[in-house]
Amino acid sequence: MTSSARLLIVGPQGSGKGTQAARIAEALGIPTVSTGDVFRANIQAGTPLGEQVKAITAAGNLVSDELTGQIVRDRLSEADAAGGFLLDGYPRNIQQVGDLDAFLTERGESLDAVIELNVPRDESIARLALRAKEQGRTDDTDEAIAKRLSIYESETAPILDVYRERGIVDTIDGVGSLDEITARITDALSARGISRAATV
């Protein structure tokens, strides 16, 4: 039985990744570490970090690997992440995979599972259009969405191959009700011995 839950969720924009991340983390009793949420909170609060990344995120571009990596390392060094965490939005390219590996290896840790949330492109674009209307995220303009999806395909999707080689990827069908999708993920994790009972 795995006694830790160091997890990563990967999926295209509009896949419902953030929503599922929150549900899974809650079910397992581990914190979610979402780089997108950290940036949005800082932008909203008008912090120096927020000022630094505001224009970059609004255009749908990636923040630098150095800055993002530092934020993640700081967050993972907090006490509540010692027994496990669910990363959402990091790593997002091959360089970041290497940076995270180096950090975790230094701590004698490694990722236990990577959840790949699969959603057809048409479906994710439809969900993003709806979210743009409902939430008004500054990076949900047509241009920024196209940029983010294209970066996802060219830079983020390839990281899955690295993790696939390690045998830790679970590919989950992301079409269905929120509860169905959460159940698919928790079932896949249970099959790896990752469940709340095993992490507490």
Q: Binding site: what residues are annotated? A: 14-19, 35, 40, 61-63, 89-92, 96, 131, 137, 148, 176
Q: What angle (nearest 5°) sits at the alpha carbon of residue 151, between those of residues 94 and 62?
A: 75
**Among 137, 147, 192, 196, the one annotated catalytic:** 137
Catalytic residue chosen out of the listed positions 6, 23, 75, 148: 148
Known binding positions for ATP: 14-19, 131, 176
Nearest distance from C-beta of residue 190 to ligand ADP, angstroms? 26
Residues 6+ apart with CB under 8 A from 86: 5, 7, 8, 9, 21, 24, 25, 28, 30, 31, 32, 33
Smallest distance, Å, CB 60 to ligand ADP?
Answer: 5
Least Cβ distance, residue 120 to ligand ADP (angstroms): 16
* Catalytic residue chosen out of the listed positions 6, 23, 75, 92: 92
Which residues are registered as beta bridge partners of 116?
10, 171
- Between 36 and 174, whose beta carbon lies closer to ligand ADP? 36
Return residues touching ligand ADP (CB under 6 A): 13, 35-36, 39, 56-57, 60-63, 68, 89-90, 92, 96, 139, 148
Rounded-to-integer distance, Cα 175 and Cα 112, Å: 24
> Please, are residues 76 and 33 in contact by the beta-carbon 8 Å criterion?
yes
Structure tokens at 73: 């390392």
